[in-house]
Amino acid sequence: MSKKDWLILSLDTSCDDTSAAVTLNDQVLSNVIASQAKFHQEYGGIVPNIAKRMHQKLLEPTVQQALKTARVNWQQIKAIAVTFGPGLAPALETGIAYAKEMAKKHQKPLIAVNHMEAHLLSPLAKNSKGNGSFKNEKIKFPLLGLLVSGGHTQLVLVKTIGDYQILGQTLDDAAGEAFDKVARMLDLGYPGGPIISQLAKKGEPKISLPIPMQQSSSLDYSFSGLKTACLRKIDQTQIKDKKFILHFAASFELTVAKALTLKLNQALKKYPVKQLFLGGGVINNTTIRQEIRKTAKLHNTKVFIPFDKKLISDNAAMVGVCAYFQAQKGKFVKNINQLDRKPNLSL
């Protein structure tokens, strides 16, 4: 490791998950997500328990695991990075308090990271061998970012790293919330994303649902009208059998994909960029990804997603990679005591 290298311990406690990671520059050495490590992905940790989630007790073992997996110790760590927004205020506070404590205890500089910027730059992450989505590519500014998650739906113009312009965002529900709410209407349980996407594979998108914001020239998203249309369709349907549910899942999924690509298409017309970055949990949905790729292809725009599925949803490694870019520019927290959570932080 040379003097120029940044070995960073990063934390993310923006909403449902507690995560810690170790990154070396843009390389991910470890990326531990508490709900997946402590509980198991097969079952458990589905409903967020506030008290537990915000308990500092969860941070310590997650951090220890991140250090252990990366085979590094506190002495080697050069800086600590933490998400300070946007997200759930009490959850953010927990992470920030812990990061401050560690920064003081181990005398490390602290880097405050915007969770959405971390999602945005997540395709730039590489694995420990230096391979990633950008192995044989050069980054070409300006580029577009499309962030789709439980809490956000945003189209961002990236002029360069650190210089962003939000072109459009949701005016009501985020795409991920729309999935949860439609799953609720169809009596499918929580969370809605994975089960709708599983059922959609066996259905046909033959139920017509309105694509939101078609008449609007703005690049903003809106899913509340689609939600109401779904409710109406479901209420009007007498027999909600297996076939209906499968077709509805497929139809809804495709409509969300069309809504996302409608605005993406408009954005690419206005800003003909060469590269498109994708991030956020909803990007795990294969239909949505396919539709986005189709749209991007029409504009000769290349699509980049993070090299590892774990980097798509909320995680700390993306925070570490984002912090690396900040560290290079000397963007550290000047007064550690004054760092405060910003639940409404924007790009």
Partner 1 sequence: MDIFKLKSSNQAQAIKTALKILRNQGLIVYPTETCFGLGADATNEKAVEKIFQFKGERNKPVSIAAADQEMAEKYVRLNRTALNLYQNFLPGPLTVISFSQGKVVKKLESNRKTLGVRIPDLPFTLKLIKAFGRPITTTSANVSNAKPPFSLKDFQKYTSQKRQNLVNLFIDPGSLPKRESSTVVDTTLNETLILRQGQISFSQKETQKFVSNSEGETRKIAQKITETVRARNLPVIFALQGELGAGKTQFVKGIASSLKIKEPITSPTFTLIKEYPFNQNTLYHLDTWRLEEGREILNLGFNKMLQKGNLIAIEWLEKVKPILEKIAREKKAKIIWIKIEPLTEDKRKILIYE
The contact set with partner 1 (CB under 8 A) reads: 15, 36-44, 46-52, 54, 86-90, 150-151, 169-174, 176-177, 180-181, 183-191, 194-195, 198-199, 224, 227-228, 231-232, 241-242, 245, 343-344
Rg (Cα) of the chain, in Å, rounded? 20
3-class secondary-structure state, position 221:
strand
Nearer to partner 1, 56 or 160 (CB): 56
Nearer to partner 1, 140 or 202 (CB): 202
Q: Which residues pair with 83 in a beta bridge?
A: 113
- Phi, psi for residue 32 in degrees, rounded to 5: -100, 130
Cβ atoms of 29 and 22 within 8 Å: the answer is yes
The distance of closest approach from Cβ of residue 116 to partner 1 in the complex, given in angstroms and rounded to an integer, is 13
Q: Which residues pair with 40 in a beta bridge?
A: 43
What is the CB-side half-sphere exposure of residue 276 using CA atoms within 13 A?
26
- The 8-class DSSP code of residue 156 comes to E
The distance of closest approach from Cβ of residue 163 to partner 1 in the complex, given in angstroms and rounded to an integer, is 22
Which tokens in the block code for residue 269? 């017309």
**C-alpha–C-alpha distance, residues 248 and 86, integer Å:** 33
The distance of closest approach from Cβ of residue 177 to partner 1 in the complex, given in angstroms and rounded to an integer, is 5
The distance of closest approach from Cβ of residue 25 to partner 1 in the complex, given in angstroms and rounded to an integer, is 25
Nearer to partner 1, 52 or 71 (CB): 52
The distance of closest approach from Cβ of residue 181 to partner 1 in the complex, given in angstroms and rounded to an integer, is 6
Nearer to partner 1, 54 or 80 (CB): 54
236: left (phi over 0), alpha (psi -120 to 50) or beta: alpha
Nearer to partner 1, 41 or 165 (CB): 41
**C-alpha–C-alpha distance, residues 66 and 10, integer Å:** 9
The distance of closest approach from Cβ of residue 52 to partner 1 in the complex, given in angstroms and rounded to an integer, is 8
Nearer to partner 1, 40 or 140 (CB): 40
Measured CA distances, 268 to 72, 288, 346 (Å): 43, 17, 22
